[in-house]
Amino acid sequence: FLLSIDEKLVEHGIIYSRYVDDIVIQGKTRNEVLQGIVILETLCKEKGLIPQSSKFSVFEADSIESAIGKTPSLTTEIKKAIFSDEKELLKKFKESLDKDTYNSSFLRYTLKTYSESSCLVDVILENFENNYELVEEFIIYLSKFIADNDIQIKCRQKLGPLLYRTNNPYDFVQCQIWILLEKINQYYLLPSNYTDLAIKLLNNRKTSFSLKYGVF
């Protein structure tokens, strides 16, 4: 999926390293790196991807490892702490969502690995619309507890209305919500208006493939 972006970056003579969706651009000057970032962001938007500006930083590398992005984002101690105390986890999770102390690595790791309790559900739903770059991880976490009736209701009330918005620029977000609703539907039969909307979207030629996948 990102091959065309790789090819364009090479065409522009940009030196970089990429691991899945983590990209580190290298340059001899700050200006050189910033020019590369502008091109990268444009290419991402053309593909409908969500650039994660909160993770963006420009720094002078002090080693080969940091230059190519090999330094570990989370220490073993931090990973262990995630499972040690629920209250502390909740506090750290909220801090990591704050724009001034945003920590994408901590958020993603927690959402993918933590399944001890549903303590993060309310925070996720409150911050869902402001953190679309985490939508896949949000859905993974919510899915772990979707058999709980109260959580089903919260998800329907908070996320269901987002499917009817015409100003959401990211089909991938709506696709993920449809996938979560399908899991809810296994426990609670959803109202017919969801079926009506699904059929309407499937029959619409303008509906993107990624959205049709979620709807189907």
103-123 pLDDT, tens per residue?
A: 888 999 999 999 999 999 999
Gyration radius from the chain CA atoms: 20
Through-space distance between the first and last CA atoms of the chain, rounded to whole angstroms: 21
Per-residue pLDDT tens digits for 169-206: 578 889 999 999 999 999 988 899 999 999 999 999 98
Q: Phi first, then psi: give them for residue 148, nearest 5 degrees.
A: -75, 125
User: Going by C-beta distance under 8 Å and a sequence separation of 6 or more, which residues neighbour residue 182?
Assistant: none
Average pLDDT over residues 127-150: 93
